[in-house]
C-alpha cells in the first residue's frame, strides 16, 4: 500500500517508490505505474473502464490521463481505475487530490470546529506514521551495523 504524505503547504508531492520506481503520488503516474506493473496494455484497460454512460473510454484518452493531461478525474473514473487496477480507492482519491463523495458529504455536515479537529487528528496520524517509519529505518540500520562486525557504513 502506498502512503501519501501531506506537506506543510497541503501538497501530496513526496517521492515514493512503487513497483521499484521512484515517483510522486500523483494520479496519472499511479495509474500508469500500476497498469505497467500488472502487464496490462492501454487498450485493455481502456476497453474495461466505463464512463458514467456505460461506454468505454478510448486508448488515446487513457494515454492523456497517464500523461497528466486530466489531473482531476471525476469520482466515477477514480472508482473505475481502482476496480480495474486493484488500487485502494482512497489512495487513488488522495492521488487525484480530492476526497470520495461520501467523505465530502460527511465533511459538509461538520462544523468548522469539528473540521479543524478532524484535520488535526489526520495530521497527528500522518506524523505518527512518519515517526514509526523513522524508528523502523533506524532499527534496521542498527541491525546492519551490528552484523557488519563494527564496520561503519
Q: Which range marks the domain in which residue 84 is found?
A: 1-100
Question: Quick check: 32 pLDDT over 80?
Answer: yes
Strand partners, 17: 22
Burial annotation 79-106 (CB, 10 A radius, 16+ → b, else e): bbbbebbebeeebbbbbbebebeeeeee
Residue 69, burial from CB neighbour count under 10 angstroms (0-12, 13-18, 19+): exposed
Cα–Cα distance, 153 to 150 (Å, whole number): 9
Same domain (yes/no): 85, 133 = no
Same domain (yes/no): 10, 71 = yes
Same domain (yes/no): 128, 95 = no
Better-predicted residue by pLDDT, 142 or 3: 142
Please report whether residue 57 resides in a domain.
yes
Show which of 57, 82, 100 is a domain's final residue.
100
Same domain (yes/no): 92, 114 = no
Reported as a single tens digit per residue, the pLDDT across 71-95 is: 889 999 999 999 999 999 999 999 9
In this predicted structure, what is the pLDDT of residue 144? 52
Cell reading at 143: 541491525
Reported as a single tens digit per residue, the pLDDT across 89-103 is: 999 999 999 999 999
Show which of 100, 120, 136 is a domain's final residue.
100
In this predicted structure, what is the pLDDT of residue 22? 46
Give the phi and the psi of residue 70 in degrees, each rounded to 5: -130, 75
Reported as a single tens digit per residue, the pLDDT across 103-137 is: 999 999 999 999 999 999 999 999 999 999 999 88
Domain count, the chain: 2
Better-predicted residue by pLDDT, 11 or 131: 131
Beta carbons of 101 and 90 less than 8 angstroms apart = no
Query: What residue has cell string 496519472?
Result: 28
In this predicted structure, what is the pLDDT of residue 86? 95
Same domain (yes/no): 114, 147 = yes
* pTM, full prediction: 0.68
Amino acid at each position: 500500500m502506498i502512503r501519501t504524505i501531506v506537506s506543510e503547504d497541503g501538497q501530496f508531492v513526496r517521492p515514493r517508490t512503487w513497483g521499484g520506481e521512484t515517483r510522486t503520488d500523483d494520479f496519472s503516474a499511479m495509474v500508469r505505474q500500476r497498469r505497467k506493473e500488472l502487464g496490462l496494455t492501454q487498450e485493455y484497460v481502456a476497453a474495461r473502464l466505463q464512463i458514467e454512460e456505460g461506454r468505454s473510454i478510448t486508448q488515446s484518452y487513457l494515454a492523456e490521463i497517464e500523461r497528466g493531461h486530466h489531473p482531476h478525474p471525476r469520482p466515477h473514473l477514480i472508482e473505475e481505475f481502482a476496480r480495474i487496477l486493484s488500487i485502494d480507492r482512497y489512495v487513488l482519491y488522495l492521488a487525484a487530490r480530492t476526497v470520495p463523495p461520501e467523505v465530502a458529504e460527511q465533511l459538509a455536515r461538520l462544523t468548522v470546529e469539528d473540521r479543524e479537529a478532524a484535520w488535526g487528528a489526520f495530521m497527528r496520524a500522518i506524523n505518527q506514521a512518519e515517526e514509526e517509519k523513522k524508528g523502523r529505518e533506524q532499527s534496521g540500520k542498527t541491525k546492519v551495523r551490528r552484523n557488519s562486525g563494527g564496520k561503519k557504513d
